[in-house]
Structure 1
Amino acid sequence: MSDFRLEKVHYVPQALEPGVVYASDEYKVAVHLCACGCGSKVPVSLGPAGWTLTERNGRPTIRPSIGSGQLPCRSHYLITEGQVDWAPAMSAAQTVAALKSDHRRREAHYREAARNSRWWVRLWKTFQRWVGLV
């Protein structure tokens, strides 16, 4: 598989079509069949603590790379405007390091979100925007 198109969905269908990235804005997830053709479903969580998905002319770009180090194929690639850009297969150690990095990024995001949810922080940020400091 070397070419993907984007299909916006509410729910990801049970049967996936090769070459399609199914994206649900409501559930903040994108799912596609592995680009190597092995048939494995590859989900990516979207949002500030996950991957980003952008669209241009119906063609998806997903960042950062998609590493399927936990799958038998061990595929590693980027999807850029619907085109697959292959990267070297991930070793077991690289997969573990990537999973740990993802976990740290999520923890940092939620820790920051909790800190910013305090009423006085929100009030201070509103004041800063109001007076033009931010």
Structure 2
Amino acid sequence: MTELRLAKVRYVPAQLEPGVLYVSDEYKIAVHLCACGCGSKVPISLGPAGWSVRERNGKPTVWPSIGNGQLPCRPHYLITDGKVHWAPSMSSAQAVTALQYDHRRREAHYRDVRPRWWIRVWKTILGWIGLG
């Protein structure tokens, strides 16, 4: 597979069509069949702690690269303006490192988000008692 077209959906269909990147902005997920043609479903979470999908002229660009060392085919590729650009396959060690990086990135994002609501609550309480 050398190209993917973009399909904006609310719900990802049960049967995926090859060559289509299904994106649900509402549920912050994108799913497609592996670009190698093996038929594996490749889900990617969207958002600040996940991947981003941009659309230009109806064609998707996904950032960062898509690599899955857990699939038998060990795919690793970029999607830019709907075109699939293959990167070197990931070794087992690289797959583990990538998973650890993703985990740290999510932890950092949610760790940074948590204090915001707490600070707002604390400031509200201080305001109620006349100290804010």
Instruction: State the TM-score, normalizing by the size of structure 1.
Output: 0.88
Q: In structure 1, what is the equivalent of residue 38 of structure 2?
A: 38
1:17-73 Cα offsets, whole Å, 9 max, x none, are 011000001110000000000000000000000000000111000000000211000
SS in 2 for 1:69: coil
Residues 1:55 and 2:55 aligned together: yes
Is the 1:31–1:41 Cα contact (8 Å) retained in structure 2?
A: yes
Shift of 1:120: 7.0
SS in 1 for 2:42: strand
Is the 1:116–1:122 Cα contact (8 Å) retained in structure 2?
A: no
The structure with the larger Rg is 2
Is the 1:9–1:22 Cα contact (8 Å) retained in structure 2?
A: yes
Instruction: Tell me which moved more, 1-10 or 114-123.
Output: 114-123
Distance 2:107 2:115 in 1: 12
Measured on the aligned residues, the alpha-carbon RMSD in Å equals 1.5
SS in 1 for 2:85: strand
Distance 1:79 1:121 in 2: 44
Distance 2:41 2:122 in 1: 41
SS in 1 for 2:96: helix
SS in 2 for 1:31: strand
Letter in 1 for 2:84: V
* Unaligned stretches of 5+ residues in structure 1: 124-134
Q: In structure 1, what is the equivalent of residue 68 of structure 2?
A: 68
SS in 1 for 2:47: coil
SS in 2 for 1:101: helix
* Unaligned stretches of 5+ residues in structure 2: 125-132
Letter in 2 for 1:25: D
Q: In structure 2, what is the equivalent of residue 85 of structure 1?
A: 85
SS in 1 for 2:99: helix
Instruction: State the TM-score, normalizing by the size of structure 2.
Output: 0.89
- How many pairs were matched up? 123
Superposition map of 1:1-134 within 5 A = 1-117=1-117, 118-119=119-120
Q: In structure 2, what is the equivalent of residue 126 of structure 1?
A: none
Distance 2:123 2:85 in 1: 41
